[in-house]
Chains A and B, each alone.
Chain A
Amino acid sequence: MSDHSKTDVVVHDGSDPLSVGEKDLDRFPNPGLPEHKHRLSDESEAGAKRVERQIVILFVLSLLASIGGVVGYFVFPLDATLGSVRASTLSIGLGLGVGMLGIGVAAVHWAKALMSDVEQVDERHAQRSDDATRADAIQALKDGADDSRIARRPVLKGALVSAVAVAPLAFVVPLVGNLGGDWNVRKFRYTMWGPGVRLARDPDGGLIRPEQVTIGSVWHVIPDGLLGSEHMLEEKAKAVVLMVRMNPSELTEAPERADWSWDGIVAYSKVCTHVGCPVALYEQQTHHLLCPCHQSTFDVSDGAKVVFGPAKRALPQLPITVDDEGYLVAQSDFHEMVGPSTWERERYSDLPVSDEEKAH
C-alpha cells in the first residue's frame, strides 16, 4: 500500500480514522484500477468528428425549439376559446422543454463520448484535525475564556443567560398574540341556528317546506339569512346541515329526541366529527352517510351514530319543526358543539345558548 504519511492524521492513540480493516492480514489485496477502455472517439479522429457532429445537431435542435417557443408566445394569443389556451401552452411549453432538453443531452453526450474519460484519483484526508491542531484550538478557546474573565463568575453567567433568554419574548409575544384574532374559542360552540331560524337551500337560499322533501331525497341546507351576512364563510363552516327524509318506520329515535324530527325528516350537522370535512355522501337505500375524506360512516336512521371509520361521535342533530307559515325551521341551535372534537368541547355543551353570546 502507498505511503499515507502526508494524508494521515496524527492521533495520539495511534488510531487511523480512514482505515477499514486494512490491518487484517487474511484479506484479498485491492487489485488497483482496471485498464482504461478506449471509446470510438479516442481511437480515431473520424470517430471524434462524428461525435462532434452529433453534439452540434443537438445544440441546433435546441436552438430551433427555443426559438419556436418564443414564436409560439407571439403567434398564439389567448382568446375566448379553450383551444387557444391549449395551443399557447403547448407551443411555449414544448419549445422550452425541447430547448432545454437539447442542451442537456448535448452536454451529457459531449461529456460521455468526447471528453477525456481517464479516471483520476484524489487522496482523501481524515476529517479529524490532528492532535497538534486540536491542542492549538483548545488553547485558543482557553485563552479566550481567560481574556473574558468569566471564570468563577456564576452570577454574570446567570444574568447573561436570563437576559438573552427573555429578550426575544418582546418580539415573539406581540407576533403570536396578534395572530389569533380575538382568541375567543367559545365561538366554536355557537352557530347561526337558533329558535325559528328557517332552513334554506344551499347554495341559493330558497326556503323549504316539508312537502317538498320527498322520501329518499337529500337537501343541503344553510340557515336563512346566511347569504350576504358578515363572516359568511365562517358561519357556513359551522352551520351546514344535511336533511333527508325517510319512512318514519325506518327511523330509530332516542326518546328525548322524538320531537327533533318532522314526519321522517331529520337534519344533521354536515361537519364531520372526525376532522371536519363536509360529510355528504348519502346512500339512499342503506341510510348511511359517508364522509369522503377518511370514510367515517354515519347511520342517519339511527341518530347518525358512527358505524365505520375514524370518527367517534355521532353527528350533532339539528332539532327541526315547522313554523306557522309552513316552512321548516330549527327549534334551537345544536345541543352540542359541531365538528371535530376539541379539548374543552364537553365543557361548552352546558353553556346557555343566548343571543348575547352569539352576537360577536
Chain B
Amino acid sequence: MSTTTPLAKAAGGTADFFDTRVGAGKMVKEFARKVFPDHWSFLLGEIALYSFVVLLLTGTFLTMFFVPSMTEVHYPEDALPVAMRGVEMSEAFASTLNMSFHVRGGLLMRQIHHWAALLFMASIVTHMMRVFFTGAFRKPRELNWVVGFTILILGLAAGFTGYSLPDDVLSGNGLRITDGVVKSIPVIGSYMSFMIFGGEFPGTEIIPRLFTAHILLVPALILALIAVHLVLIVVHKHTQYPGPGRSNRNVVGYPLFPVYVAKAGGFFFVVFGVLAIMGATLAINSVWAYGPYDPSPVGAGAQPDWYMLFLEGSLRLMPGAPEFVIAGYTLSLNVLIPAVVVPGVLFTALAVYPFLEAWATGDKREHHVLDRPRNVPTRTGVGVAILTAFIILVLAGSNDILATHFNLSINSITWVFRFLFFAGPVIAFIVTKRLCLALQRRDRELVLHGHETGRVVRFASGEYIEVHQPLTDHERWLLVGHEPVRPLEIGPGENERGVARPAYKKAVRRSKVSNFFFADRVEPVTPSELAASHGHGEHDEIESAESNEGLLTNASTRG
C-alpha cells in the first residue's frame, strides 16, 4: 500500500467512483481485453466511422458561420472574391463566401468537410463490398447488413442536403432536377413539389429546410444507426478470415486494450490527418466559381457529387420515348424508370441479398468465419455484376467529361452505355464466376500436388519429374478448410399415397435458385482425395523430409 504512486492512487479513486455508481468494473472486465481479429480490410468500416466524426467536427465549425436563409443580399463591393462584388445573392451563399474568405480556417474547414463527405461515401461502398464478398452478412449478421445499408442511404441524403446548402448554380440546378423528378410522380407529384419547396420552385424555404435535415435529422439517424451497428459487432463478435487455429467457435486476434485502442484510435488520427491535408491542398466545391443560384444559368459539367452519379447516369441513359398521355394524365416513365425504378431495383437487390442467399442455401447455422470470394463463385459474380451496373451508371453520369477528355461523341458514349448497362453485368457475372472456379481448381491442384519447386529430377530409369514441395498443414488449411455448399435437394412431388405435396412448387423454385448458386462448384480437397493422388506413383511427390534435405544439398553443391 505504501508503494502506490500518486497516479495509481488517482486512477484507483476514479475507478472506485465509477464502479460504485454504475458498476463500471463489470464493463471493464468484459471489454478491456476483448479479442478482435486483425486484418487490414476490417479497417474500411473505420474509415467511414472516422470520416463521419470529422464531418461532425468540421460541420460544427461551419454551422457557426453559415446562415441558412434565402433572403436576397448584395455582396460587399470591397470584399473578396472580386467576381462577386456587388452581386445579388442569398444569405446562404453570402455566408458561405464570408466563411471562405473572411474567417481564418473557414475555407479549410469547408474543404475538409466536403472531402470527408466524399470519403465517407467511398469508404462505405468499399466496406460494403468487403462485407459482401466475404459473406460477413450471413447469419447472425443479416440485421447489421440492413443497418449498414440504411446508413448508406442516409449518407446519400446527408451529402445531397449538404452540398445544396450554399445555394449555388450547380447544386441549385441539382435541386431543380429533383423538383422535376418529384413532379413526374403520378397523382401527387405536383403537390409533393409544393410541399418540398413551400410553393413554386425555388421558393424561400428549401435552404432552411435542407439545413434542418442536414444538421439535425439525418445525422441523428446516422448516429443512432452507427451505435446499433457497433453494438451488434460487439454482441456478435467480429468475423475473422479463415486460417490455422481459427474456427467458427473462436475469435483469434488481439485485445482491445491496448492493441486496438492504439491501432483503431491511431487510425482515427490518420484519417483526420489525411482529410486535413487534402482540405489544405486540394480545392473542392469553389462555389464562387459557380455563382449564386439563379434559374437562368447552367454550367457545362453539371453533375452532382460522385455518390449521386448513378442517378445522374440513369437519367442520362434513358431514352425519352416512354412518356404517355392516358385520359388526359401524363405518365412520365422516361423519368420515373431511371429515377425510381432502376435505383429501386439495384438497392433492393443489395438490401435483401443476405435473405435471398440464406433461402437458397437453407443454412440456419451461424457463420463467423469469412469466405474467400473464390469459394463462393456465384455470390462473387452477382456482386461484381451489381458493381458493374453501378459503375456503368456513374460513368454514364460523367459522359460529357468523358467526351471532352477522350475526344468522343457524347451521343456515341450514351448509346454504348445503354447497351453496356444490360450486357455489362451479364458479361461481368460470367467472367467472374469462371475466374473464381478456375482459382478454386488451382487451389485444388496446389493441395493435391504441392508447390512447384522448379527442380527437375531424373531417375535412373530415365524418367524426369519436377519436384513438388507438399504443403505444410498450415499452408494447406486455408485451401481446404471451407465447407462445400451443395444445392438444396427437393423431395418427390407426391407423397407415398400419390397426393401432391402442397409446398412442392415453392420447393422447386427454391431448388432452382439454389442450383443457380451452387450447382457449379469446386469442392475442397478431402484427405482421402489427397491420399488417392499419392497413389499415382511414388515419384509424383518426394515426401520425406530427409529426401528433401538431400535434394537441397545436392542442388547447392551442383552450384
- Which of A18-62 touch B at CB < 8 Å? 18-21, 24, 26-28, 30-34
Given A94-B280, A97-B276, CB of A18 within 8 Å of CB of B249: yes
Q: A293 is contacted by which of B236, B295, B298 (Cβ under 8 Å)?
A: B298
- Type the 1/0 row for B183-217, where 1 means its CB is closer than 8 Å to any CB of A: 11111111101111011111101000000000000
In the bound complex, how far is the Cα of B235 from the Cα of A76, in angstroms?
50
The yes or no answer to A197 lying at the interface (CB within 8 A) is no
The reply to whether B252 and A120 contact each other, CB–CB distance below 8 Å, is: yes
User: Interface majority SS on A: helix, strand, loop or mixed?
Assistant: loop
Closest to B37 in A: A119
Q: Which A residues lie within 8 Å of B400 (CB)? A: 292, 295
The reply to whether B320 and A93 contact each other, CB–CB distance below 8 Å, is: no
Closest to B104 in A: A88
The segment out of B120-128, B322-330, B547-555 that lies at the interface is B322-330
Q: Which B residues lie within 8 Å of A293 (CB)? A: 173, 177, 298, 302, 315
The yes or no answer to A140 lying at the interface (CB within 8 A) is no
The segment out of B267-275, B419-427, B457-465 that lies at the interface is B267-275
Q: B320 is contacted by which of A180, A203, A306 (Cβ under 8 Å)?
A: A306
In the bound complex, how far is the Cα of B203 from the Cα of A73, in angstroms?
39
Given A27-B527, A310-B318, CB of A17 within 8 Å of CB of B266: no
Interface size counted on chain B using CB atoms at 8 A: 128
Q: Which B residues lie within 8 Å of A108 (CB)? A: 262-263, 266-267, 270
In the bound complex, how far is the Cα of B205 from the Cα of A184, in angstroms?
16
The yes or no answer to B537 lying at the interface (CB within 8 A) is no
Q: Which A residues lie within 8 Å of B499 (CB)? A: none
The reply to whether A123 and B250 contact each other, CB–CB distance below 8 Å, is: yes
In the bound complex, how far is the Cα of B296 from the Cα of A270, in angstroms?
8
The yes or no answer to B21 lying at the interface (CB within 8 A) is no
Q: Which A residues lie within 8 Å of B338 (CB)? A: 310
In the bound complex, how far is the Cα of B216 from the Cα of A338, in angstroms?
36
Given A93-B277, A236-B295, A343-B187, CB of A19 within 8 Å of CB of B104: no
The segment out of A77-85, A211-219, A255-263 that lies at the interface is A77-85
The yes or no answer to B345 lying at the interface (CB within 8 A) is no
The yes or no answer to A353 lying at the interface (CB within 8 A) is no
The segment out of A152-160, A244-252, A271-279, A317-325 that lies at the interface is A271-279
In the bound complex, how far is the Cα of B39 from the Cα of A248, in angstroms?
71
**Nearest-CB distance from A188 to chain B (Å)?**
7
The reply to whether B481 and A111 contact each other, CB–CB distance below 8 Å, is: no
Q: How many A-B residue pairs lie within 8 Å, measured between CB atoms?
A: 375
The yes or no answer to A100 lying at the interface (CB within 8 A) is yes
The reply to whether A33 and B190 contact each other, CB–CB distance below 8 Å, is: no
In the bound complex, how far is the Cα of B262 from the Cα of A344, in angstroms?
61
Given A19-B248, A311-B320, CB of A181 within 8 Å of CB of B108: no
- Which of A330-354 touch B at CB < 8 Å? 339-347
Q: Which B residues lie within 8 Å of A120 (CB)? A: 33, 35, 252-255
- Type the 1/0 row for B533-548, where 1 means its CB is closer than 8 Å to any CB of A: 0000000000000000
The reply to whether A296 and B299 contact each other, CB–CB distance below 8 Å, is: no
Given A234-B201, A275-B177, A347-B328, CB of A89 within 8 Å of CB of B280: yes
The yes or no answer to A356 lying at the interface (CB within 8 A) is no
The reply to whether A274 and B296 contact each other, CB–CB distance below 8 Å, is: no
Closest to A26 in B: B526
- Which of B228-252 touch A at CB < 8 Å? 235-237, 244-252
In the bound complex, how far is the Cα of B208 from the Cα of A337, in angstroms?
29
- Type the 1/0 row for A61-100, where 1 means its CB is closer than 8 Å to any CB of B: 0000000000001001110111001001110111011111
Q: A346 is contacted by which of B271, B281, B328 (Cβ under 8 Å)?
A: B328
Closest to B326 in A: A346
Looking at A96, A182, A188, the one whose CB has the most chain B CB atoms below 10 A away is A96
The reply to whether A277 and B177 contact each other, CB–CB distance below 8 Å, is: yes
The yes or no answer to B81 lying at the interface (CB within 8 A) is yes
Q: Which A residues lie within 8 Å of B399 (CB)? A: 295
The reply to whether B274 and A101 contact each other, CB–CB distance below 8 Å, is: yes
Q: Which A residues lie within 8 Å of B295 (CB)? A: 233, 236-237, 240, 278
The reply to whether A111 and B259 contact each other, CB–CB distance below 8 Å, is: yes
The yes or no answer to B477 lying at the interface (CB within 8 A) is yes
The yes or no answer to B496 lying at the interface (CB within 8 A) is no
The reply to whether A344 and B329 contact each other, CB–CB distance below 8 Å, is: yes
Given A111-B262, A341-B183, CB of A20 within 8 Å of CB of B248: yes
The segment out of B7-15, B153-161, B360-368, B509-517 that lies at the interface is B360-368
- Which of B90-122 touch A at CB < 8 Å? 100-105, 107-108, 111-112
Looking at A99, A184, A234, A270, the one whose CB has the most chain B CB atoms below 10 A away is A234
The yes or no answer to B176 lying at the interface (CB within 8 A) is yes
The reply to whether A233 and B320 contact each other, CB–CB distance below 8 Å, is: no
**Nearest-CB distance from B236 to chain A (Å)?**
7
Q: B104 is contacted by which of A92, A124, A202 (Cβ under 8 Å)?
A: A92
Q: Which B residues lie within 8 Å of A18 (CB)? A: 248-249, 365-366, 368
Closest 3 CB pairs of A and B: A93-B280, A275-B180, A101-B273
13 contacts between A and B (CB under 8 A): A15-B364, A28-B480, A30-B481, A88-B104, A93-B111, A93-B279, A103-B269, A124-B237, A124-B248, A280-B297, A294-B312, A294-B315, A343-B189
**Given A97-B275, A101-B273, A185-B194, 17 new contacts (CB under 8 A):** A34-B474, A92-B105, A93-B105, A93-B281, A96-B108, A119-B253, A124-B237, A126-B366, A202-B296, A270-B296, A274-B315, A278-B298, A309-B319, A340-B179, A340-B332, A343-B185, A344-B330
A binding-site residues for B, Cβ under 8 Å: 4, 7, 15-21, 24, 26-28, 30-34, 73, 76-78, 80-82, 85, 88-90, 92-94, 96-108, 110-112, 115-117, 119-124, 126-127, 176, 179-185, 187-188, 202-203, 220, 222, 231, 233-234, 236-238, 240, 270, 272, 274-278, 280-281, 292-296, 306, 308-313, 339-347
